[in-house]
Chains A and B, each alone.
Chain A
Amino acid sequence: MDAGAETSRSETLDAAVAAPGANAAPARNRTRVRRPPGWIKRALMRHVVPEVAFVVLRTLRLSWRIRESGRAHYDAAVASGRAPVIAFLHGRAFMLLDTIRDRPRRCWFSMCSPSLDGDAMTKLEEKLGFDVVRGSSGAGGLQAIVDIIRSVRDRPGAGACLAVDGSRGPRGQVQGGIISLAQRTGGFVLPVTVSASSAWIFRKAWDRTLIANPFARVEVVFGEPLPVPPKLKAPEFDRLRLELESRLVALQAEADALSGRGDTEPVRAA
């Protein structure tokens, strides 16, 4: 029996077992969707997707007209001789990676979740020159933050960058790991974001990933560094986390205004 006949029979069976009076839509919903076997998906995510994403990102970036605002904040932070800790939101990470990598630093540490999506992102970031530590707010995140702190301290000139709204959201809500990281390394967090005059937005993704179209005007905006003292009690820690969240939201609005577009959805999920 060929595959087409098999599919046709399964669709017929699905329709046949539908409850009496049910309309056609639920029957269609039960139609078997042929998904690639797990190993194919894993192979694609680990070996094909990062390669394609790398080429796409590099090609798109060549066509973008990139303008930077607040660059002085970054330059001053680096000139201070302390390890920079850069914070951005997940939805803008793809576009910012190459921009951050271009900074005159020998080594950047970042964190990717231990999921299959994280495998693809890890490979992409490694191709871009990042040293990736695996972990997320849900799994191994604590150890990952500890590992990044130790790595940044051990490598003079190193910095760290993190997408701060968890590995799975909620979008725009900053998790505390970035504050701990800054406490124990450079003593400040530098927020950064990006927007574009025209872009694709992955509307079904929790983070609403934004990727600028070819030849778009891209606005990279660095915010003022947020100082983080080495010792913090819980209320102060939380105040700084919320302060960073507010600054990232405001920075996003600024970048969107500069680009004349951006995302219509609020940066911070309700």
Chain B
Amino acid sequence: MHRPEILQRLTRVIADSTTAPPDAAGVTEATSLESFGVDSLILIDLIFDIEQEFGVKLAAEELTAMRVMGELVSHLETRLAG
């Protein structure tokens, strides 16, 4: 799966979970995860939504360490390739 596709699907997943749904067109790899209003409880939603969407199991620590969408995209790209 290519990075733009991962980013697009990830944006959709985040829009479903967060209090501040992103404007899909404006989301880039530099967009901060914090800007979506992701708190610790939304993180749990995200972990399972990402698992459902991509089939990748993330640990809470991995996700909390990420600051921007690009890091999450890279992580998923690596896991999906492996």
Q: Which A residues lie at the B interface, using CB under 8 A?
A: 142-143, 145-146, 149-150, 176-177, 179-180, 183-184, 231, 233-234, 237
Contact = CB atoms under 8 A, between A and B. Distances in A.
Contacts of A149: 44, 48
B29 interface: no
Given A143-B61, A180-B41, A234-B19, 10 more contacts: A142-B40, A142-B60, A145-B44, A146-B47, A146-B60, A149-B44, A150-B57, A176-B41, A184-B44, A234-B37
A127 to B, nearest CB: 28
A180 B45 contact: yes
Nearest to B51: A150
A233 B19 contact: yes
B43 interface: yes
B21 to A, nearest CB: 10
Nearest to B40: A142
Nearest to B19: A234
Counting contact residues on chain B (CB < 8 A from A), the size range is: 10 to 19
A160 to B, nearest CB: 14
Contacts of A233: 19
The secondary-structure label for the interface of chain A is helix
Contact of A142 (B19, B48, B57, B64): B64
Nearest to B37: A234
B44 A146 contact: yes
Closest 3 CB pairs of A and B: A142-B60, A143-B60, A180-B44
B55 to A, nearest CB: 14
28 contacts: A142-B40, A142-B43, A142-B44, A143-B59, A143-B60, A143-B61, A145-B44, A146-B44, A146-B47, A146-B48, A146-B59, A146-B60, A149-B44, A149-B48, A150-B57, A177-B41, A179-B41, A180-B41, A180-B45, A183-B45, A184-B44, A184-B48, A231-B16, A234-B19, A234-B37, A234-B39, A234-B42, A237-B41
